[in-house]
Amino acid sequence: MPIKIQNDLPAKKILEKENIFVMDEIRALQQDIRPLQILILNLMPLKEETELQILRCLSNSPLQIEVTFLMVSSHTPKHTSVRHLNKFYVHFEDIKKDYFDGMIITGAPIEFLKFEEVDFWDELIKIMDWTESHVTSTMYQCWGAQAAMYYFYGIRKYILPKKIFGLFWHQVNDRKIPLVRGFDDIFLAPHSRHTEVKLEEIKACWDIIVLSESDEAGFFLGMTDNGRKIFIQGHPEYDRVTLDEEYKRDAEKGIKIALPKNYYKNDDPSSRPLLMWRAHSENLYMNWLNYYVYQITPYNMYGAPEFRA
């Protein structure tokens, strides 16, 4: 089944060239089905790039998905046109009375700021509180995961002595949990961050189940409230060239940056990057959509179900 997006979203043409089934609004009106309503709070600076990455990750589901893009009102993006934002994004005030089957809150390149120093922090708190009664399951990614664990559970983030950058090996802790069903014992996933939430502090929180971790990169995947909240400290949504572009951009600026680990063949940055995480990434998103959104969400969406035992 397809992803339903606005007719002229720029990502649509790219997805169609990749043979990903995308349905526009006109065709969707002819379908006698209620698609899953997925809200995406896109906090990344290059919003069109992030739109495409996340839509790719959601594209392999047999479920019909309708995506709404959300932006914060308390911050003015510098790298995305106002025209694009006005046309394809909504504000919280526009949708706060609505209900959604699932939500994704992305990362943001503001790691060195304390959470309370972020200009949209108060608005983000309102949104995170709102998800408790208006969203069946919310997936928090990278900085978004750090922010959510800090706000809901008081788990702090720490500045790393060295940036975690590249592909890192992770282990699965409990494959009985549906979120990691179909995962291999070990798998690669991308990271690109200067901060971390410490694994031992997360494990000390009785509410959070740690599903995957890395000896080098630390915490990767966890959840709480039986799947109401999913935390990912990493970037499984990244495309083949995302780390490559980040490395070359910083190198051209004269920023001291190491090669992304386990990424280039023979560590040669002139070679085509190796794509070695896509299968597990898509599996993660499909498991989330199936087990924690589709099989749980109420059909009429008049309220998020009660998950607590």
Q: What is the set of active-site residues?
A: 142, 235, 237
Q: Which of 206, 107, 126, 112 is nearest to 157 (CA)?
A: 112
Q: Token pair for residue 126?
A: 């309102």
Q: Which two tokens stand for residue 271?
A: 């070679």
Q: Quote the CA–CA distance of 156 and 144 in Å, as a whole number.
A: 13
The two tokens of residue 137 are: 């399951």
Q: Is 59 helix (H, G, I), strand (E, B) or coil?
A: coil
- Comparing CA positions, the residue from 100, 112, 198 lying closest to residue 156 is 198
Dihedral of the alpha carbons of 59, 136, 105, 204, in degrees to the nearest 10? -120
Q: Are 251 and 276 in contact (CB under 8 A)?
A: no
User: Which of 155, 184, 188, 157 shows the shortest CA–CA distance to 172?
Assistant: 184
- Angle formed at CA 189 by CA 225 and CA 58, multiple of 5 degrees: 65
**Structure tokens, 179:** 């979120």
Six-digit token string for 86: 């006005």
What residues contact residue 58 under an 8 Å CB cut-off, 6+ apart? 3, 38, 65, 67, 285, 289
Burial 202-224 (b: 16+ CB within 10 A, else e): beebeebbbbbbbeebbbbbbbb
